Amino acid sequence: MADIWSEALHSLQPRLGAQTFDMWLRPIALQEIRGRSLHLHAPNRFMKEWFENHYLSVVLDEIKRMTHSDYTAEIEVQEQAAANTPRRAPTEPVAAVEVPAQPAPQPTKPPVSTLRPRLSARYRFDNYIKGTSNELAASAAWAAAQEPGKRFNPLFIYGGVGLGKTHLLHAVGRHIAEHRPELRICYLSAEQFMNEFISAVRCNQFDAFRSRYRHDLDVLLIDDIQFIAGRDRTMDEFFHVFNALYEAGKQIVVTADRVPADMKGMEERLTSRLNWGLVADIQAPDLETRAAILRQKADHDQIRIDNRVLLHIASLVRSNVRELEGALLRVTAFAELRGVRITEGFVSEVLGGVTPSQATAPVTIERVQKLVASHFSVKIADLKGPRRHRSISRPRMIAMYLSRELTGASFPEIGQRFGGKDHSTVINACKRITSMQASEPDMRNTVSSLREQLTGPLLN
Ligand code: ADP
Ligand code: MG
């Protein structure tokens, strides 16, 4: 009759998904069935509790559905069950019975996320250029680095790709490491956190994982937290880590590519905690900041290039700092290969023939739609379509607003170009974006950065 267990699992597998199934159900082994009671073995306490809290009722329901009877279950922890290495090799002499009853502790590996290998010397506060686009985030990071755990805890930094989030996070870590060597710092990406968590559970080292992250740390720096959205077990574990550290007054700094509320699949209780401290944004840098970043980079790499030319590069490459650095690299590499001096004309030629005149080409509704769609990662068809979800309707309203402001097209004409919508829809969109800009700094920044990308910065 052992088969009711395997049959129940078999029918649950497609519903739970292979990953969940392999991770949480497969390690639980049926020992015997006595009457209506299942005796199960779990490889460790953590797996037992997790299974009990999350999956036991699902399995029992399934058994009930199959047998029309109520079963109960008892789960016993059998540490050895999951250990791949048997306590005693079959050929070992009897004297080896003295081997401890518990598996021998693994040689203590250095925590996977020790500080040194992970913090880059390139990312420091002294080479982080501040501008209006990143001022709040940079100042808050500095304050957190000066007085870990005292102010701005947690600190949540968000912004688009290549805008300097990782740079700031490393800078915080390095600064603390230099000035407070007694503090234990851990920097890692959310993806690494997830991988370590999974492997700790798999290798039966969850206790070590738990104490490493919940107790043996003074500063936790987590990059790209959006990665764990929708990964329930990792979110749950991170939630406990967060609570333990927060309650102990330890500094937590988290980065993401968007605000907590916009992370699809992120647990509510986690987003609310991420909002407890300071939430600071990094926007695309303005022309001046871009030029300053280039100047610093050129000086650091001992590239001889004059400010006018740097300003020209900065005026052509607006999306993010990483691309800006890439552009400088490309220009200097080409100049070296050809053995020529870097001039504005040369820059225009190398950077794909983008010229300032193109940057200030007339704004059309089509250009607005293209830019807004790519900025928010939505389809142009969705901007023109009927969907009302906030993730679409906001970009759509912004695109309508910018079309009105920058192209001079009439409301009915704009409605027409957004999939034949009524002119009143366009008027409402413009009114809402106007009022949102007045009350939400984020909206104001987004609109002005998009506007700048469409009209080009004022060059003189
Ligand atoms: P993100 O993590 O936001 O994607 P990164 O921190 O990796 O971005 O930054 C991309 C590159 O741009 C890095 O080389 C970083 O040093 C550089 N960078 C970003 N912002 C600045 C800044 N304000 N000053 C100097 N360098 C910057
Ligand atoms: Mg990054």
Nearest CA to ligand 1 atom 14: 322
Burial environment of residue 319 by CB neighbours within 10 A (0 to 12, 13 to 18, 19 or more): middle
Question: Ligand 1, closest atom to CA 131?
Answer: 23
DSSP code of residue 54: I
Mutational pocket test of ligand 1: of 135, 170, 321, the residue with most ligand atoms within 8 Å of the beta carbon: 321
The model's pTM: 0.59
- What is the Å distance from ligand 2's center to 166 Cα? 4
Question: Ligand 1, closest atom to CA 138?
Answer: 23
**What are the start-end ranges of the E strands in 22-89?**
29-34, 37-42, 72-77
Burial environment of residue 288 by CB neighbours within 10 A (0 to 12, 13 to 18, 19 or more): middle
115 touches 173 (CB < 8 A): yes
Nearest CA to ligand 1 atom 11: 322
Mutational pocket test of ligand 1: of 174, 189, 322, the residue with most ligand atoms within 8 Å of the beta carbon: 322
CA distance 267 to 195: 19
Ligand nearest to C-alpha 161 = 1
Nearest CA to ligand 1 atom 20: 164
What residue ranges of the chain have pLDDT lower than 70? 1-2, 17-20, 46, 79-117, 353-362, 456-460
pLDDT at 81: 38
- What is the Å distance from ligand 2's center to 388 Cα? 31
Nearest CA to ligand 1 atom 5: 164
Residue type, 167: H
Question: Ligand 1, closest atom to CA 170?
Answer: 6
- What is the Å distance from ligand 1's center to 87 Cα? 50
206 touches 44 (CB < 8 A): yes
- What is the Å distance from ligand 2's center to 175 Cα? 18
DSSP code of residue 55: I
The residues that bridge with 256 in the sheet, in sequence order, are 158
Nearest CA to ligand 1 atom 4: 162
Nearest CA to ligand 1 atom 9: 164
pLDDT at 361: 59
Within 8 A by CB and 6+ apart from 446, the residues are: 283, 375, 398
- What is the Å distance from ligand 2's center to 162 Cα? 7
- What is the Å distance from ligand 1's center to 163 Cα? 5
Does a cis peptide bond (omega within 30 degrees of 0) precede residue 154? yes
SS3 256: strand
pLDDT at 456: 61
The residues that bridge with 187 in the sheet, in sequence order, are 221
Query: What structural domains does the chain harbor?
Result: 3-95 (3.30.300.180), 125-282 (3.40.50.300), 287-358 (1.10.8.60), 365-455 (1.10.1750.10)
Residue 284 Cα distances to 295, 364, 445, angstroms: 17, 22, 9
293 touches 323 (CB < 8 A): no
CA distance 360 to 315: 11
pLDDT tens-digit readout, 238-280: 999 999 999 999 999 999 999 998 999 999 999 999 999 999 9
DSSP β-ladder status, 155-159 and 278-282: parallel
CA distance 398 to 404: 10
**Ligand 1 pocket residues where CB is under 6 Å:** 123, 127-129, 134, 159, 161-167, 293, 321-322, 325
Question: Ligand 1, closest atom to CA 169?
Answer: 6
- The CA-based angle 63-45-273, given to 5 degrees, is 95
DSSP β-ladder status, 251-256 and 155-159: parallel
Nearest CA to ligand 1 atom 23: 129
Residue with tokens 């797996």: 47
Ligand nearest to C-alpha 123 = 1
390 touches 348 (CB < 8 A): no
pLDDT at 310: 95
CA distance 97 to 102: 12
Q: Which two tokens stand for residue 253?
A: 């700094």
324 touches 314 (CB < 8 A): yes
